[in-house]
Structure 1
């Protein structure tokens, strides 16, 4: 019996039967989370609870029904993020919660009414991003993740122990505690008093104290883009290879992006349960196709600093991405987000004799936006100060030779870490009970041009993921939803910028939309274009 069937019969059933119906609905909610129909059941459960109170049901039974109703409402608020929520389902769910709140008020159940109001507000915020555009973008993203962020060899291996534990749908859904801060929930005892919610003054102060102890300066650039603070942050960036900007995101914008990151985490973990960058560690890949994430691009604080970094407003967004770690993730080796020196010489041209591409002044900058507090438990990234100035002449030393001194970039949720992609850095252990996602935006400087890219030499695979604009990833209608500054920054990401209209895969001749379900042939940024399946085959052929 589904939640909707129960919804039809519960209000008219005898009080005794309502208890059994309530138990049935609760079972349905707990065991059928993938059906959108269950979202209407919490309103029925609340009605059952209120009628039980009105008719003087025994105290013990009333408490049990009331607890069941509260648990159902909690699931109602969370579940839309577990399975895709259409605008129609969101509208019905909000109506059900609103009606249930009125019933609770009629029976003077004020505590339950307050709980319903909080759930209503949370669900309303989720509904804002439950649009057909978002659902379409997430479907495109999932296809890209499967094609580009997993390997063909891994796909044919036996499931690992990690996959067996985290990979099945029911097992993964049981680990929703990982995502609670991203969904606006708070439960201190569940996380050993580490809720990673910057709204709590104590945790915020602890994170800031950790940064001070580590010797990491936190810059605060005023909302009007204060030039003096931005200039200081830019100077620090040039000296050390990174800078941390505090409170870049807050309020509803941060909440919406946290909820979006929860969606991306779910897709990545369900697709590659063991991790694609080490044990329980992930890169999110081509998030550029998800238009909701492009709202990060025009952050006033970040743009003010980048203007000081490049002494120009003529920079642009190259792509978006991100990464995350799950509880139990181990420390990541130090690395730079550029290919090694010998590879770089084959990939990139330089107009100046004796000067390599890696010597150029900050050609591309990556900005990480922290979705949770980066503290001792969740594991902030670590940086080797000044190493960006060494990458053109030195390789990152392997772990067995001893790591150079580094500092951890502790910061609160909503902060931004601005880094030169040549700086040596690596993730640290996640010993919390939470997922630690960071969304990222890559900005290309005014002097950068893809014309420096060669054909990839003898290693063409490296020509595609590094330093290329994600042309065609953003439909025009998504671009038009951004601010005027955001539209200008993302101008190279549209279909028009791809210089290719929807056509056919150059290998299998299937219909494709360049940048949305097709990629340029590896090592040839200008094309020809391949569908994702053919692109993955081409990539795998280089490893044979």
Structure 2
């Protein structure tokens, strides 16, 4: 589902109550919502311009992954995950603590949630299909239970995402609410084959808020250009992704200059740690 914000909402930087309710209910029911036109063209242009030299340097340093796509290695060929440095413009308040996004996170994760994943996903020309997968492992894999979300993802495209350049394919309608015991890679592959997916097409300036447990996969980038996408994960405070990916490195002076809400979001980051971790 896509939700177009009104001029009044954008001016006030606040949802009408019915739109907030609609966004939260849509995520609960179907696993995602696209907020149209949330970010200004100027900010997205700045993000894309700043991202390119960092990404180009990163790609130059590593080899292309030629591992065949399968359920255990879902990233695939010519598709790059890169952690982002916590610098401007990536750490702009409109990115890390956007009031519309945080209103949704407060409803789904509580107002004490944290931000522990600050990265990007970029399929290059020639990338293929990923295996269908969930981004989160079950907390209680032996149990026949359905849990509320512990993590929510925010995806920000830096270019228009089209059928041609590798739109994310999703399996909405409840795959984020399957019992914990069913969320196994091979079972996901088998069950998804009999279900109808849809592609999330977005314009630069739109954002996608999704439950990362919802089944999804990257599709081939058949264009001649890259398709950069920022990826931020917000967590309940007890859910620590440390060990899954490097913590966000933030210089002390940068952290001290953040707004209070941003400080709370990033209180579990690596304060004083290395600014750039390109693993």
Is the structural similarity TM-score above 0.5? yes
CA gap 1:218/1:477 in 2 versus in 1, 3 angstroms:
same
Q: Are the equivalent residues in 2 in contact too, given 1:261–1:439 (CA < 8 A)? A: no
Displacement of 1:482 after TM fit? 3.5
> Which residue of 1 is the match for residue 14 of structure 2?
225
Aligned ranges 1:170-249 → 2 under 5 Å: 216-220=1-5, 222-223=9-10, 224-226=13-15, 227-249=17-39
Alignment gaps of 5+ in structure 2? 67-74
- Give the Cα–Cα distance (whole angstroms) in 1 for the partners of residues 276 and 19 of structure 2: 42
The answer for the alignment partner of 2:255 in structure 1 is 479
Q: Please tell me whether residue 297 in structure 1 is matched to residue 93 in structure 2.
A: no
Give the CA deviation at 1:480.
3.6
> Is the Cα contact below 8 Å between 1:243 and 1:418 reproduced in 2?
yes
Matched, 1:329 2:127: yes
Residue 465 of structure 1 pairs with residue 244 of structure 2: yes
Task: Give me the TM-score of the superposition, normalised by structure 2.
Answer: 0.81
Higher strand share: 2
Please say if residues 334 and 426 of structure 1, whose CA atoms lie closer than 8 Å, have aligned partners that are also in contact: yes
Distance verdict in 2 for CA 1:258–1:231, change over 3 Å = same
- Structure holding more helix per residue: 1
**Counterparts of 1:397 and 1:251 in 2: how far apart (Å)?**
37
Q: 1:485 to 1:493 in 2, by over 3 A?
A: same
Contact 2:169 2:198 in 1 (8 A): yes
- Taking the TM superposition and a 5 Å limit, the aligned residue runs for 1:327-406 are 327-339=125-137, 341=138, 344-345=139-140, 359-385=146-172, 386-390=174-178, 392-394=180-182, 395=184, 396-398=187-189, 402=193, 404-406=195-197
How far apart, CA to CA, are the structure 1 residues paired with 2:190 and 2:5? 34
* Deviation string, structure 1 residues 352-373 (Cα, Å, up to 9, x no partner): x9577xx431101111101111
CA contact (8 A) 1:314 1:445 kept: yes
Secondary structure of the equivalent of 1:256? helix
Pair 410,470 (structure 1): closer, same or farther in 2 beyond 3 Å: same
Tell me if the contact between 1:318 and 1:470 (Cα under 8 Å) persists in the aligned partners: yes
| Cα 1:449/1:329, change in 2 over 3 Å | closer
CA distance in 1, matches of 2:265, 2:27: 21
**Residues 10-409 of structure 1 correspond to what in structure 2 (within 5 A)?**
216-220=1-5, 222-223=9-10, 224-226=13-15, 227-275=17-65, 277-284=75-82, 286-287=83-84, 289-292=85-88, 293-295=90-92, 296-310=95-109, 312-339=110-137, 341=138, 344-345=139-140, 359-385=146-172, 386-390=174-178, 392-394=180-182, 395=184, 396-398=187-189, 402=193, 404-409=195-200
Q: 1:518 to 1:464 in 2, by over 3 A?
A: farther
**Partner secondary structure for residue 268 of structure 2:** helix
Structure 1 residue 338 displacement after superposition: 1.7
Question: Where do 5+ consecutive residues of structure 1 fail to align?
Answer: 1-215, 347-352, 454-462, 496-512, 520-531, 537-544
Residue aligned with 1:414, SS = coil
Secondary structure in 2 aligned to 1:408? strand
Q: Distance in 1 between matches of 2:221 and 2:270?
A: 36
| Shift of residue 282, structure 1, vs aligned partner | 1.2
Q: Give the total of aligned pairs.
A: 259
Alignment check: 8 A CA contact 2:143 2:180 kept = no
In 2 relative to 1, CA 405–478 (structure 1 residues): closer, same or farther, beyond 3 Å?
A: same
Query: CA deviation digits over 1:14-73, x for unaligned, max 9?
Result: xxxxxxxxxxxxxxxxxxxxxxxxxxxxxxxxxxxxxxxxxxxxxxxxxxxxxxxxxxxx
> Alignment partner for residue 210 of structure 2, among 382, 405, 419?
419
Question: TM-score, with normalisation over the residues of structure 1?
Answer: 0.43
Query: Per-residue deviation at 1:273?
Result: 4.4
Give the superposed CA RMSD: 3.1
